[in-house]
Amino acid sequence: MSGLPALDLPAGLEHLAASVTLVDESPHALPSCRFLERDVLGEAVLRLRNSYPEARPADLAVLWARMYGFRLLAAALPAALFDRHLPTALDETRMALDPRDGCPLCLQVPHAGRMVETDDPFLRLQTAIRDHLGPVLDAVARHMRAPLTVLHGDAAVTFKMIADDIATAALRSRYPLSCDVGPLSTAKTWPDGARNILSTPFLPTTRGKAGMTRRTCCLHYRLQDGNGFCDSCPIAEKRRRAQEAL
Concatenating the DSSP letter of every residue in 108-119 gives EESS--EE----
State how far the Cα of 203 lies from the Cα of 216, in Å rounded to an integer: 9
Positions of the chain with pLDDT lower than 50, given as ranges: 1-2, 207-208
Q: State the Cα torsion 41-43-47-52 to the nearest 10°.
A: 70
Q: Which helix (H) or strand (E) holds 30?
A: strand 29-31
State how far the Cα of 211 lies from the Cα of 202, in Å rounded to an integer: 10
pTM of this prediction?
Answer: 0.92
Sequence-distant (6+) residues with CB within 8 A of 159 are 73, 77, 181, 184, 185, 198, 201
Amino acid 151 reads L
Per-residue pLDDT, 68: 98
Per-residue pLDDT, 219: 92
Per-residue pLDDT, 3: 57
Per-residue pLDDT, 117: 81
Nearest to 27 by CA among 90, 88, 97: 97
Per-residue pLDDT, 206: 58
Is residue 183 helix, strand or coil? helix
Per-residue pLDDT, 2: 45
Per-residue pLDDT, 240: 67
Cβ atoms 121, 184 nearer than 8 A: yes
Bridge partner residues of 22 (DSSP): 109
State how far the Cα of 105 lies from the Cα of 114, in Å rounded to an integer: 24
Angle at 44 between CA 98 and CA 69, to 5 degrees: 75
H-helix segments, 29-147 = 38-46, 57-81, 121-128, 134-144
Bridge partner residues of 189 (DSSP): 195
Per-residue pLDDT, 25: 82
Question: pLDDT of 174-201, one tens digit each?
Answer: 988 889 999 999 999 999 999 999 999 9
Measured distance between the N- and C-terminal CA atoms of the chain, rounded to whole angstroms = 54
State how far the Cα of 27 lies from the Cα of 178, in Å rounded to an integer: 37
User: For 28, left (φ over 0), alpha (ψ -120 to 50), or beta?
Assistant: alpha
Residue 77: other Cβ atoms inside 10 A: 25
